Every structure is written in structure tokens, then in C-alpha cells.
Structure 1
Amino acid sequence: MPLHVPPAPAPALRSVLTALSSPTAVREARTPSLLGTRGPASPELPLPVHVLDRIATEDVSATRLAGWRFLIRCGDRAVAAADTVLTPDGWTFSRFFEGPYVASTELALRQAEALTQPYQPRLLSVPGLYMLTLWLHGDPTADAATGHPAATDLLVPLAPAPPGIAAHRPHRVAELLPVLTHRVTPTRLLDSPAA
């Protein structure tokens, strides 16, 4: 198995387990898939969620850990996801949700399992493009809460991906970053009249 899933902070996992065992938390989540599950639901595949606040081809160090995401599995498939966030009191449950990113994450992880090189899976959010990618970090023993994408790491855009970027196609960071940079750079108006 080439994927080395990092362990989530124990308080993050406990907060999700507590929320799953709370009928109120599940009911208020309004996630039909989670409400309609038969049998036990369990949090699996914890992935650190990093946010790329600023895109630059030379310096991608503007990433920050935003939380941990757990796929909620019932039977043989993920039916929802749970996010946790770090507060002044520690890791806490944030929300349950469902939608295309749940199935897309599960598919991307299955595809990554077929790769021969070992990777540490993470999620990388690019808010400026409303984009989420599976970030396959080349150092499987790295601290999952820190770091930035290395040029040789892989980014797998999750569906739905922005127009013109193929979902579920792995890209080296060095290849995809210039495309993302171009996409989020505001277009300057040439010869705009002075106000």
C-alpha cells in the first residue's frame, strides 16, 4: 500500500465519534445519506486539510492547516464526511456534509493506491478557484500538519474541478501551479482610462 495515511490528532477523532453518537448532531447536519444509514457509521481515512492562501510559482509556503477531514463510512462506501477545526480549546467537530467531494475523494484515494511510489495523502484547498485537490506528498513520514507542496508532489483535482482542469488526473505541483497561478491572477485592464 503506497499511501501512508497520517494519524489524526486524538481529540479530533474523539470529537467526530462524539458527534456521530449524538442523534441531535446527526439530525441537525441535514445530510440525507448520513440520516438514512443502516448500521454503524465510522470515521475513516483522516486527511489534513491545507489551504493554499496565496499561489506563487516560486514560493508556495502560503499554505496553512485548516482542519482534519474524515470520510464517514457505512458498509462498503463513504456516505458523508466530517470536518474538525482547531479552536483555542483544541480540536473540535465542525460539521458533517455530503456531496460530490465525498465520492471524488474516495475515488482519488483508490486511484492513488495503484501508484508505485509511497505518498502521504492530504487535501489542498484552493479557495480562489473553488478547487479541492488530493495532495500526494512525497515524504510519507512528514508531519502532516506542516509543510508545503514540493515541486515533485502530485495534486489530483477532485470533481467538480474548475473548467479546463481535468478531475482525477494527477499533476506534478511544478506543472499545475503555473496553471493555477494564471487562473487566480486578476486580469489587468490594458489602457484603462484614468478616473
Structure 2
Amino acid sequence: MNEFEMSDMGLLHYFIGLEVHQDEDGIFLSQSKYAMDFLIKFGLLNCKPAATPMNVGEKLQLNNRAQIDYARSFRSLVGVLIYLTHTCFDIAFSISVISRFMQQPSKVHFGAAKKVLCYIAGTKDYEIWYSHVSNFRLCGFIDSDYVGSLNDIRSISTYFFTLGSGVVTWTSKKQATTTLSTSEIKYISATSAVC
């Protein structure tokens, strides 16, 4: 206060789309209001919630013939979904797949992005819980999808880590090199996660 003009506004409750609920036992983080606003914007507020963010076994690929006229809406939707991965790490893989088609989206890609939003409709009230714990144990979980990208035959690595009670980091991205076997992709995924 001696150096800078500032005011104490109490505990943090809302900050750039991130809701924070603090109590004596820990902190809840969510983006339910942010998700609700965009469900309304895209007309999916009363949609049937999807059980998974992406169809099992679905592999999207580039389709030059089926470009959509509303590419701007697609890009806006993908941007919203990318921002939602701050608290919804379970959609990270789906978003990494869908965001590859920002330059030439098709109706199929737009449908896949809307399906993720339908999944969010069913999980928008989920929160990340960071509790007061005395044992901070770091746990990591790694997965991979062999040849997950059909256009360039690259595999996808996914991992997330927890420290104590909550998730602290997660990612899902295409590997830089082309792998020749499922064993090789598992080693590359594990190395990437450890790094």
C-alpha cells in the first residue's frame, strides 16, 4: 500500500471466466457460468447431454470438398472449447483433434465441436477440488493414440498429473515424429510426460 495504490476486495470469486469457491477445507475451481453463456450462444442450452466428448473410434480428417460457409462460427466455438480446458481437462484430447481443422473446417468438424459442447452441457457443474492435504503425492497418468491423425500419420500423446487432491497439469498433442509401432509411441509418450 505504501508503494502502489490498491484495495482489498476480499476473497477471489470470479476472474476472467474462472469461478473460485473458497472455504476452510480447500478451493473449488469451475467455469460453469462461462460454459452456460456459450451453450446459450450456440443454441445448445437444452440439448441432450453427450456421454463422451467425442465418438469412440472417430478419426477426423481433412476434407477439401466439404468446406462450410460458417467457418467463423466454428473457429469461435473451438476457441471457447480451448478456454474451457482450463478446468475441463477431460476434453483436451477432443479439442486437440478438432482444432487441427481451423483452416478448412467441414460440416463434420463443426458437428464434432458441437458434440463436445453437448458433453459440456452435461458436465458444466463439475469442479476441480484442491483440498488441504499434508501428503503431496505427485501422480501421473499417460495415454497415447497410435496414428491418431490420419492426415499425416502422427500419433497423439496425452498425460495429466495430480499433486495432492487436484489436477495441476494436462496436455494432449500430436507427436513431432512418426512412430512405427505402438510400443514406440508408448515410450515417446512416457518420455514426454516425464520431461
TM-score normalized by the length of structure 1: 0.23
Bigger Rg over Cα:
2
- Which structure shows the bigger proportion of residues in helix conformation? 2
TM-score normalized by the length of structure 2: 0.23
- Which structure shows the bigger proportion of residues in strand conformation? 1
